[in-house]
Amino acid sequence: MDDKQKQFAEKILAQAYIAKAKTGLPASILAAQCILETGWGRYVPVCRKTGKYSYNLFGIKGKGTNGSVEVITHEYIAGEKVKVIAEFRAYNNYSESFIDYGNLILGAKRYKNAVINKDDPEKYIREIWKAGYATDPKYPEKILRIARSCKFI
């Protein structure tokens, strides 16, 4: 981990603990998700047409508190990695991204098993994935590897 990665991890982990205090969701996993979803902060979604910065740390699609951004991304469809154009939620700051993530997870029935397992980071991320949060078949392992390498868990 280089200095920029370490700084990003520390900043995100602090935000993740604030989110944990409000939601009860595991800060270790939230921080690791941000790192994976943004490539250590280098790839926060930016609109391909306008250059608008999204502050979206979790790769959540749709419309956020500041609208959305159109981005070329990758999805796994029928086991194949393909390029797609998708709308990602946009926020006014990183804090809004954490709040929205918590609202999404706590408010959607499909994440019920994840919420039940929020005190066990490994079970939590596996349940998030099973519920369809990410299409990458290796998503839970990638998140756990990051969390361990950063000593979040």
Dump pLDDT digits (tens) for 27-41.
Answer: 999 999 999 999 999
10-33 burial, b if ≥16 CB within 10 A, otherwise e?
Answer: eebbebbeebbeebebbbbbbbbb
The rounded distance, in Å, linking the Cα atoms of 127 and 8 is 26
In degrees, to the nearest 5, what angle opens at C-alpha 14 toward C-alphas 9 and 17? 120
Indicate which residues carry an active-site annotation: 75, 100
The domains found in the chain, sorted by start residue, are 3-149 (1.10.530.10)
Helix (H) / strand (E) element for 85: namely: strand 80-89
The rounded distance, in Å, linking the Cα atoms of 131 and 60 is 14
Q: Please give the model's pTM, rounded to 2 decimal places.
A: 0.88
Dump pLDDT digits (tens) for 97-137.
Answer: 999 999 999 999 999 999 999 999 999 999 999 999 998 99
The sign of the CA dihedral 45, 61, 78, 106 is positive
Above 90 in pLDDT, residue 1? no
Q: What is the DSSP string of 93-139?
A: SHHHHHHHHHHHHHH-GGGHHHHHTTTSHHHHHHHHHHTTS---TTH
Query: Which residues, at least 6 apart from 76, have a Cβ–Cβ distance to it below 8 Å?
Result: 82, 135, 136, 137
